[in-house]
Amino acid sequence: MLLNPKKIQNNANLGPRDINRMDPYDAPIPGQSLTDEPGKWAWDKPPEMTDVDDAYEYVVLKIEQDPDLKDDMLKFLMAKTPIESICNTIAFTGFAQGKWSPDIAEMIKFPLSAYFAIMAEENGLEVIMFNQEKEEPTVTDEQILDTLRENDPGALEFIQQELMAEQGDSENFLDAPPEGMEEPMMEEPMMEEPMSEEGMMAMIDIEGGAE
């Protein structure tokens, strides 16, 4: 029974905007796992396989002897699913089912990656080994200014005035020449004559060897 009936019972179904509706007591009690019956879960029992070669052969034989399963693997590769994701799923599933230990789950990933890469090449599919890392969003200057404009307009106005004052001081400093020195005369830039077609062709022949 929830202490607050107005809260959502399952926090897993909440969205990023439902934080105010979360039930703070909908979580495991500290030490709860120590009160469960030992061996209740498959991963809590001794693993069926303790050798990497045995675990690898088990996965490969299961795929090769099941045409439907192998066809599913080819569909994943055809859909450009990274091999890293496929191997991570297989390794974790085997651990959850009690097939192997977490150590074997990590060590099996490398030979499985090679197996799926060869499968993709034999079927003329593009090999995508790793997951694409997502770029973390950065805060732009425009977003900062918008936040200041909304939350603290006075601070934004103060910053703008300071920037304008600094800009004005720098312009005055640059505009005023030192005492006793005259402003240098700027020479007019010399206009180069346009290159003729013969000259362009000769340059192309020398640099690129094109005719």
In a domain, 178, yes or no: no
Which stretches of the chain are DSSP H helices?
A: 52-64, 67-78, 83-96, 102-107, 109-122, 141-151, 153-175, 197-207
In a domain, 13, yes or no: yes
* Domain that includes residue 4, residue range: 1-32
Query: Are residue 52 and residue 18 in the same domain, yes or no?
Result: no
Query: Are residue 62 and residue 113 in the same domain, yes or no?
Result: yes
In a domain, 99, yes or no: yes
In a domain, 75, yes or no: yes
Query: Are residue 28 and residue 61 in the same domain, yes or no?
Result: no
Query: Are residue 3 and residue 69 in the same domain, yes or no?
Result: no
In a domain, 158, yes or no: no
Query: Are residue 57 and residue 21 in the same domain, yes or no?
Result: no
Among 94, 122, 150, the domain-final residue is 122
Query: Are residue 47 and residue 27 in the same domain, yes or no?
Result: no
From first to last of its 211 residues, what are the pLDDT tens digits of the chain? 444 444 444 555 555 556 666 777 777 788 887 888 888 889 889 999 999 999 999 999 999 999 999 999 999 999 999 999 999 999 999 999 999 999 999 999 999 999 999 999 999 999 999 988 776 667 777 877 788 778 878 877 888 888 888 776 655 544 555 555 555 555 555 544 544 444 444 443 333 444 4
Instruction: Report how many domains make up the chain.
Output: 2
In sequence order, the 6+-apart residues with CB closer than 8 A to the CB of 168 are none
